[in-house]
Structure 1
Amino acid sequence: MGRGTRTAVLTAGALLLGAVVLPGSSSADPRQDAVAAGQVRIGLAPKAAACDNNSLSTGLTPSASDAGADVQRIIKRGKLIAGIDTNSYLWGFRNPTDGSLQGFDIDLVHALAKSILGNADAVEFLAVPTANRISALQSGQVDVVVRTMTITCDRLKQVSFSVPYFNAGQQVLVPKSSKITGFNDTMKGARVCAATGSTADDMLKDPAKDHGATVFHVANQLDCLVQMELGNVDATITDNALGAGQAAQDPTVHLVGGPLDVEVYGVAMKLGADDLVRRVDYVLQDFLAHQWSAEYDRWLKPLGSTPPAPVPRFAG
């Protein structure tokens, strides 16, 4: 892609490019039905109704206005500052040939910059570790985080989110030689890797549900792949979309068992930045309708045949 963008790297990780051998998936997307049924609450403004399983998934009504303070700050600066991952193959990674940043999330950031600033390359990328995503927004270090970030009720208390742009779920990734078959008792005594501050990390904190596994923490989810390759851990729990990317890099690992939950990725922003949330939702409304399928085919085809794009729902 080779875009002329400025990148500041806050953390480093190995990028291991290997043969693309990935598990397939169905083109159907039942997770969207679960989202619509209220199992996940999405894109709420700080003053919206409480986050609960009975609420419909809604985002802020899109707006193309540039008048808000948060959007104006970006326009006056002349660039969008985006927190990203540089080590997630397919999503956000550095091309080892030319050093350019590429992936599904990277293209989404360029779409945001194009709409807000009229220039897709008016971006400063900051590589933000998983555990620092929220603090980077709260401190004003970045305007947006576009980093396969799952929308959760707890996170909605700390940051604002766009409507979802991808549906996923946690799953277990293991070496093909492993006897672990999923998130079950075959994990007893195993060393399981999870990124600090990730959904998997939260899941493994419950001793009643960890199946006797020991948690091994890393800064970024790709570090788990390195730890598995070194033999320091026996399994990884991560988003299946990210796990599929790791399997693309190393064909000796694969996903086992089924998805452990229903998750959706959103663009995260500072809590209360409603004008920016509406502007991002405006971009996503068009991105989901006209660009999403092409982006999936370009980057995420190894995950399986192209599913329908998430259907945005707006209110308020």
Structure 2
Amino acid sequence: MSGKKTRAVVLAAAALLLATVALPGSSAAEPPTLRATTASAPDLAPAATTCDTGASLQPSTSDSGPGVQRIKQRGKLIAGIDTNSYLWGFRDPATGNLQGFDIDLVHALAKSILGDSNAVEFLAVPTANRISALKNDQVDVVVRTMTITCARLLQVSFSSPYFVAGQEVVAPKSSPITGFDDSLKGKRVCAATGSTAADLLKQTSHGATVVPVANQLDCLVQMQLGNVDATITDNALGAGQVAQDPTIHLVGGTLDQELYGVAMKLGASDLVRRVNAVLQDFLANQWDTEYNLWLKPLGKSPGAPRVHYAG
């Protein structure tokens, strides 16, 4: 078996082993997983709309609204997360604990709303099921490197932005692929179903064959097995893949600028305002620490995003 395939098998075996770990505490017990589906309505709605993706509702610390009250009466925050994105939401193989930038943000939300950072129930949500999980009240929030787009704002509500990212190509260092260009012609390119990358490839594939997967980490395994030639994903997620496998790299530069936000059910304005109040403090007092803890592979910190409010 080649070295590349050996690494992939070890990675898959480690993931299988960690899936059986169930330790006490909200971050250590294995969260249930929503089954990935091939939904007829994708995460990105086809409607083309102009909007301000950087604006959200004015922050408020009021706990009197129905969305916040439901969480307080339940006594825990139900958060849709990713457990397969290194640096953002992943299971530490040494401790079995869920860790990452997004996981720490969820704990900050629980601390502010419920007074207990561990008053959280995590639910692992595949990329394509993020919006349906909110629509069906399976989760209160989705904190999962989710890009704010005009199309998504027709389906869910978003907090103010908490991170700036961009789409980029990930490929083996030995590959002739130079970026999102004609070097992809005839190649197999991986993207998570319902992701911004998948939508980008629908618009133009540069002659590539698109290989859809449930989660972006699946693309890393597929590259290691030699089943795909490249991946398109957020550069913030791509940096996590590169940190896991030094034989691959980000190539060609970012294709756009995207803003990550906390997603909530459409119309849950009281919860949006409450989350924005938490984010206001998080961006001012915790963001730099979290970046230095988790996201150094992305390079020098760009600083927390500037936010503005409307309504």
> Could you say whether these structures have the same fold, taking a TM-score greater than 0.5 normalized by the shorter chain as the test?
yes
CA contact (8 A) 2:101 2:291 kept: yes
1:273 aligns with 2:268: yes
- The structure 2 residue matched to 1:147, chosen from 144, 168, 175, is 144
Matched, 1:120 2:141: no
Q: Superposition pairs for residues 230-241 of structure 1, below 5 Å?
A: 230-241=225-236
Answer yes or no: is the 8 Å Cα contact 2:141–2:262 preserved in 1: yes
Go from structure 1 to structure 2 and tell me whether the alpha carbon gap of 1:267 and 1:115 turns closer, same or farther (over 3 Å shift).
Answer: same
CA contact (8 A) 2:53 2:149 kept: no
Distance 1:309 1:3, change over 3 A: farther
The one-letter code matched in structure 2 to 1:65 is S
Q: 2:288 aligns with which of 287, 293, 299?
A: 293
- The 2-side partners of 1:77 and 1:66 are apart by 14
Bigger relative contact order, structure 1 or 2, given CA contacts below 8 A and separation 6+? 1
Residue in structure 2 matched with residue 85 of structure 1 by the alignment: 82
216, 224, 247: which one aligns with 2:219: 224
Q: Identify which of 44, 63, 66 aligns with 1:66.
A: 63
Percent identity, aligned pairs only, is 72
What secondary structure does 1:205 align onto? Answer: helix
Q: Unpaired runs of 5+ in structure 1? A: 14-49
Q: 1:56 to 1:297 in 2, by over 3 A?
A: closer
Q: Helix, strand or coil for the counterpart of 1:167?
A: strand
Cα distance in 2 for residues equivalent to 1:180 and 1:198: 21
Q: Per-residue deviation at 1:51? A: 5.1
Q: Secondary structure of 2:220's partner?
A: helix
1:56–1:296 Cα change, 3 Å:
closer
- Supply the RMSD in Å over aligned alpha carbons: 1.7
Following the alignment from structure 1 to structure 2, what is the Cα–Cα distance between the partners of residues 190 and 3? 45
How far apart are residue 11 of structure 1 and its match?
A: 5.9
* Counterpart residue type for residue 141 of structure 2: V
2:53–2:259 CA contact under 8 A, matched in 1: no
**2:259 is equivalent to residue 264 of structure 1:** yes
In structure 1, the residue matched to 2:40 is none
Q: Secondary structure at the match of 1:215?
A: strand
**Aligned: 1:132 with 2:132:** no
Compute the displacement of 1:8 (Å).
Answer: 2.4
Alignment pair present for 1:311 and 2:309: no
Q: Give, in whole Å, the separation in 2 of the partners of 1:56 and 1:235.
A: 29
Kindly provide the CA deviation profile for residues 245-301 of structure 1, in whole angstroms up to 9, marking residues without a partner as x. 000000010000011111010000000000000000000001001100000000001
- Structure 2 unmatched runs, 5+: 1-22, 37-47
SS in 2 for 1:269: strand
Distance 1:196 1:98, change over 3 A: same
Contact 2:167 2:256 in 1 (8 A): yes
Scaled by the length of structure 1, the TM-score of the pair is 0.85
**Residue 246 of structure 1 aligns to which amino acid in structure 2?**
Q
Please list the CA deviations of residues 76-130 of structure 1 after superposition, one character each: whole Å capped at 9, or x if unmatched.
0000000000010000000111210000000000000000000000000000000
State how far apart, in whole Å, the 2-side matches of 1:153 and 1:58 are: 11
Q: Give the Cα separation in 1 of the matches to 2:215 and 2:165.
A: 18
Aligned partners of 1:146 and 1:267 also within 8 Å: yes
For 1:206-217, what aligned pairs fall within 5 Å after superposition?
206=203, 209-217=204-212
* Distance in 2, Cα, partners of 1:214 & 1:126: 32
| 8 A contact 2:53–2:148 mirrored in 1 | no
The Cα of 1:52 is off from its aligned counterpart by: 1.7
Q: What is the match of residue 187 of structure 2?
A: 190
What are the Cα deviations for residues 165-223 of structure 1, in whole angstroms up to 9, with x where unaligned? 000000000001100000000000000000000000001112xx211000000000000
The residue that corresponds to 2:50 in the other structure is: 52
